[in-house]
Amino acid sequence: MALTSSLLFGGGDALAQDVKPPVAEAKKDVKPALDWKRTHLVIIRGKDVDIENEVDIDIDSAVKAGRKNKAASIHFAGKIKQDETGLYGRDSFEIKRIFEDVRDISKRGDTIFIYIAGHGKKGAFFLSDKTELKYEKLLELMEKNFKGRKVIFASDSCHSNGFVDFSIESKKFPDLTVMSTGSREEPVVRKHFDGLWHALSSNLDLDGDGIATLEEAFQYGLRADYCGLRAYPKFFDTELGTYRSTLDGDGIKEFEMTVKRFYEQGDYGSIVHVFSWEEVGKELGTENAIDLLNSAIRDADPIVKAYAARLLGDAAEKTDISIAVPTLVNALTSQYGWVRRNAARALMNASERVDISIAVPALVKALSDENEYVRIGAAMSLVNASEKTDISIAVPALVKALSDKSWNVRECAAMALWNTAEKIDLSTYDGVIGGLSELSKDESIYVRKVAAEALEKITKR
């Protein structure tokens, strides 16, 4: 019994030291979109998704951009994870006090860049303590504290386009630019705006005029976001993404983005950000594209790693990515859930076509990952691997996975034991018979069916 799936699964890397960083350095001959020395970042961590710490990747993107470019100041609101430098980590939901702090250290003519990452609803953003920051209150605080400053607001929350209309149409703030990836009317799968920060940090000049602009950074970030949404056709054609300014009005011109252009510039980070596997494979050829992704996933930047792993997962559904299997195994140890889940999905898809036996020990460990989607990917990979190779070392972990809170994991664990029973006698392993017997009464009809069939195969062997 084999599995394949098009599910979107979303520290240190021993291999990263041998790889040239694929993200291009900031272009020094390009005028940046922001005067960073006069830009104050206010980063608000919203309510996270339930399955993993995805918001941390977006927060890290903003933090790295601010640090790299020496922003005038960086401020945080919400529950922020502690990083190794200690620069951020304080929990605070006092938006009013933080805005007042920024007001006191900024000067007229400075730029205040407010970024909210997380969940939202019509009329409000959710903070990480699950309280609501209503549009009216946010705009009131901006108007009270940032007179004489230029304010840029960006959010990748659901419904965040609603704040675009609300803030601009209120006509209360004379110099305000608002950027959103979210749909105005309906909630969508939570997206990311890390592409925006990559563009701002690297002075991305899409039209080659020597000037990086907010419009270019926004379109790049939105294009990267759309690339992720392709796995969700229901939402891909809905109204997503808006850029509006009180000074410039609506709309921005289209900027050309091609795989070949970024490849020639050595900007591999942009390639994995904004293009699908089909586009990369077509432009570079399958072999070159796999090599590029195999290098990108070894980069120290977790965002580049995550996107590269996602594209490798897409590629694995159609071609041999065996060269990347060791790198994907290494990515399963990343501290970021988004990286681990994409690596698990890529190994799952690869297991249909190539030998992933070297990944079995890592997949065994991944069965106990805190991220449900990593566990699902690991379990599915072991199902496919069990058809071709001896995974007896995984039996104890599979027995434990029979009681996982995710029915997908429980079903896959039973299925992997079923396949393994064709090669070895599992009746002598502790917990196999008892675990499958208990699972035959599972609440899920799918789990019950697989468990009963696996139990029958083992006992009648």
Q: Which pLDDT score, from 0 to 100, does residue 228 have? A: 43
Stretch among 27-31, 94-98, 184-188, 433-437 having the lowest mean pLDDT: 184-188
> Is 354:321 a contact under the CB 8 Å cutoff?
yes
Distance, in Å, from the CA atom of 232 to the CA atom of 104, rounded to the nearest integer, reads 44
Mean pLDDT of 374-397: 88
Q: Which pLDDT score, from 0 to 100, does residue 15 have? A: 31
Q: Which pLDDT score, from 0 to 100, does residue 54 have? A: 60
Backbone angles phi and psi of 66, in degrees to 5:
-65, -45
Please determine, for residue 223, whether its predicted confidence score (pLDDT) is greater than 80.
no
Q: Which residue has the tokens 């990917």?
A: 377
Q: Which pLDDT score, from 0 to 100, does residue 164 have? A: 79
Q: Which pLDDT score, from 0 to 100, does residue 102 have? A: 94
Stretch among 110-119, 255-264, 274-283, 372-381 having the lowest mean pLDDT: 255-264
Q: Which pLDDT score, from 0 to 100, does residue 398 have? A: 94
Mean pLDDT of 70-90: 62
Distance, in Å, from the CA atom of 266 to the CA atom of 303, rounded to the nearest integer, reads 17
The model's confidence at residue 185, banded by pLDDT at 50, 70 and 90, is: low
332 compared with 88, residue with greater pLDDT: 332
Please determine, for residue 236, whether its predicted confidence score (pLDDT) is greater than 50.
no
Q: Which pLDDT score, from 0 to 100, does residue 98 have? A: 87
Please determine, for residue 232, whether its predicted confidence score (pLDDT) is greater than 70.
no
Please determine, for residue 240, whether its predicted confidence score (pLDDT) is greater than 90.
no
The CATH class for the domain spanning 25-250 reads: alpha beta
> Is 204:270 a contact under the CB 8 Å cutoff?
yes
Q: Which residue has the tokens 């000049």?
A: 205
Please determine, for residue 21, whether its predicted confidence score (pLDDT) is greater than 50.
no
Q: Which pLDDT score, from 0 to 100, does residue 55 have? A: 67
Distance, in Å, from the CA atom of 255 to the CA atom of 342, rounded to the nearest integer, reads 29
Please determine, for residue 214, whether its predicted confidence score (pLDDT) is greater than 50.
yes
84 compared with 146, residue with greater pLDDT: 146
For the chain, percent of residues with pLDDT exceeding 70: 78
> Is 277:289 a contact under the CB 8 Å cutoff?
yes
Stretch among 206-210, 250-254, 414-418 having the lowest mean pLDDT: 250-254
Question: In this structure, what token pair is assigned to residue 317?
Answer: 């559904």
245 compared with 441, residue with greater pLDDT: 441
pLDDT tens string 244-301: 665 454 555 667 778 888 888 888 888 888 888 988 999 999 999 999 999 999 888 8
For 32, which DSSP code? Answer: -
> Is 452:415 a contact under the CB 8 Å cutoff?
no
Instruction: State which H helix or E strand residue 160 sits in.
Output: none
According to DSSP, the residues that pair with 177 across neighbouring strands are: 152, 245
